[in-house]
Structure 1
Amino acid sequence: MNRFNHLIQKQSILYRGGVISKILCKILNRCIRWYYHCDIPYSLNIRNVYFCHKGFGVVINPNAYIGEGTYIQHGVTIGSRDDTNNIKAPNIGKKCYIGAKATIIGDVRIGNNVKIGAGAVVISDIPDGATAVGVPAKIISK
């Protein structure tokens, strides 16, 4: 596991601590945003989620759920469709692979063991074990 993954997980653990821990968490989050050019909220529980290429350019909605064992490449966006209802965020299953520059937006459910190709735009649900590519993402195998 690279240094970036350790920083992200420590940030998440600090968030669950006391007042001093939350202040340190916010400082760590600002440093990560500045150095890695990504926006990964410290309130997000991302245990055993791996960011390849040090997570450069990754943006994640604070209300998203990401399952354990998921690999996320650089430039990925996981968010909601509109700014007014920010609570409808993607739910990503366990052991998924999300390719570089992929975008997952809206209230979608991604099953377990799913592969999402590089540059794909996911706007609808994807079942377990499927592979999705394209704009908008289409399932090419199950």
Structure 2
Amino acid sequence: MFARLQKDIRVVFERDPAARSVWEVLLCYPGLHAIWLHRIGHYFYKRGWVVFPRMISNIARFITGIEIHPGATIGEGLFIDHGTGIVIGETAEVGENVTLYQGVTLGGTGKEKGKRHPTIGNNVVVASGAKVLGSFTVGDNSKIGAGSVVLKTVPPNSTVVGIPGQIVWHNGKKINGVEIIDLEHDDLPDPVQEMLQCLQHHMFKMEERINLLEEELRKNGIKSI
């Protein structure tokens, strides 16, 4: 137990440059408090308790602003930065070394029973305000851009941006086969901008070709249109 608590504290120092001391982390990081309270609630929930774990979840929400259903499965190494407004549903599964920023929702899309919340793989970063809704998997080493709404499966080593979320392949998720946690969630490709750039490039090519054709017509004594 103490080894796991030490790892939780170490994760904060690894991913938050604002962390200055162990006491600061212990007393002032609501994401850490929410995770610890969730573990207590999850322990009782797995043993058939219902009301008491939900009470713990509500207390955690009141104290931290983070709502994690006691039925959710949370892996080791989770880091919640700030955390206000985060909601994690009952059947959500969060892998190891995941990073969640404020306003993230791991939710469902209806009233169906059974597995209805997403499964988040290892080393995933979900940026501020992103919504991952439905029973599907977000693959390992992926990034979800800020404000994105993800409604379908995300392959490993991918980046998702937009509403609805569009998968944009991004190089550099693995370096020499070594898995890394990429926190650069502000450096994401923009598919709309890329499409406009492609159209602009195509227009330049067309103008060059038209100019060449007009030059050939002039050389042949034919007046260009």
Cα distance, 1:28 vs structure 2: 4.2
Match of 2:102, SS?
Answer: coil
86-95 vs 70-79, which moves further: 86-95
Residue 50 of structure 1 corresponds to 79
Superposition TM-score, scaled by structure 1 size: 0.84
Q: Which structure: larger Rg?
A: 2
Match of 1:118, SS?
Answer: coil
Structure with more strand by fraction: 1
AA of the residue aligned to 1:129: N
Residue 10 of structure 1 corresponds to 36
Q: Distance in 2 between matches of 1:12 and 1:30?
A: 10
1:57·1:76 contact (CA, 8 Å) conserved in 2?
yes
Tell me the percent identity.
25
2:38·2:68 contact (CA, 8 Å) conserved in 1?
no
Summarize the Cα distance change of 1:33–1:9 in structure 2 as closer, same or farther, 3 Å threshold. closer
Gaps of 5+ in 1: none
Superposition TM-score, scaled by structure 2 size: 0.55
Match of 2:167, SS?
Answer: strand
Gaps of 5+ in 2: 1-11, 13-24, 171-225
* Superimposed CA distance per residue, residues 54-96 of structure 1 (whole angstroms, 9 cap, x where no aligned partner): x100011110111010000000111111024363211110000
Q: What's the Cα RMSD here?
A: 2.2
2:34·2:66 contact (CA, 8 Å) conserved in 1?
no
Aligned partner (choices 89, 103, 121) of residue 61 of structure 1: 89
Indicate the structure whose relative CO is greater, using CA pairs within 8 Å and at least 6 residues apart: 1
Match of 1:131, SS?
Answer: strand
Residue 128, structure 1, aligned to residue 130, structure 2: no
Residue 89 of structure 1 corresponds to 117
How many residues end up aligned between the 2 structures?
A: 138
